[in-house]
Structure 1
Amino acid sequence: MKNKKMITIILKKLKELYPEKIKQRDPYKVLIETILSQRTKDENTKKASKKLFSKYDTIEKIANAQEKDLEKLIKCVGFYRVKAKRIKKISKILINKYDGKVPKNLKELLKLPGVGRKTANCVLVYGFNEDAIPVDTHVHRVANRIGLVNTKTPEETEKTLRKIIPRDYWKEVNKLFVEFGKNICKPTNPKHEKCPIKKFCKYVENLEV
């Protein structure tokens, strides 16, 4: 595991590579899009989200929509029938229990059906600008590969990252690691020649042994 000084250097280098600031968005749309994104390619998530919100642009309209109509709009995502039922149910709960607002609270978010820690943390970061670390497959893989953590599950990864990463960087971890994981630190054939943190990377060290 890296020390905190080295971790800060790694994060600073990734910020130089991906300097774009996080854009705050509607918490409800973040919640629904993150649910749609589960086990689905990014391009399909964007396509489904665009279709869904083009026809049903409010929480009330989604809550009152027919499941079959929702299914047609999001059919390009994985498990679209399950997700159609879920987003309708969540929308109704938010209207009935939270006055149509997404709760700004991890504990309450986790009470919503099908919402796990990654989804809840995404809502906190991208919807409310709260300090949290959403851990998806990219974050989990990259953090383990470069040697920040040695964990088996995304939940363990989040717990460890919260301990070792300075809180000032929490909000940015997901964005930085996702971009890095997609473009340079790929699952196969990572681009070592373009990597700004390879001298800190456990994976590269093992290759050179």
Structure 2
Amino acid sequence: MTFSAYLLIAIDLIAAAVLAFGLFYRRHRRRDLVVAFLGVNVGVLAVAAVLGTAEVALGLGLGLFGVLSIIRLRSSEISQREVAYYFASLAIGLIAGLPQSEPLPAIGLIGLIVAVMWAADHPAIMARSRHQIVRLDRAVADETELRAELEDRLGATVTAFAVQQLDLVNDTTLVDVRYRVGSRTRRIPERASAASAPAERTATTTVATAGGIR
């Protein structure tokens, strides 16, 4: 192996460590995926290096990229953010493992991938946007009424939502909600207010009775 190949391997290991530990684990604290990212990166790096020394075409390397991706994505459910980290780890390993006549373009591409992931997953980017699965304690079929109900319950502006389940028997609604926080004030649920009303009336009646006795 040439000096440029060893240099790319060192750059790959540094970039993979920054991606897994410096970005992903520091922000999301999932140790299992850190292991997956590093293992996939080094594995792809090694296989791509072997394919390169065997003078196998670049198309086979990209085919390996696709096969590994399909196997991993079908093995368990992961979020879109984790998919992005996974593909970034794959891409870094593949770029560093394939033979390069000049290492500087490859180093630049690896740096670009890490920089884009740092910026795209930064906590300051779209910091007010949220996503939740919400189950309401009543069945709401009207979309306008449902949006108003969600905004009142969440105390936020709903940007998009999709009804996943409308249960007319058990009187519940399951909604996938995307919303923006900090723009509304959350109200007290009506049922809670109604539940507290009898207690207040009872207390008033007791005071009046006591006043009558005195």
Greater RCO structure (CA 8 Å; 6+ sep)? 1
TM-score normalized by structure 2?
A: 0.28
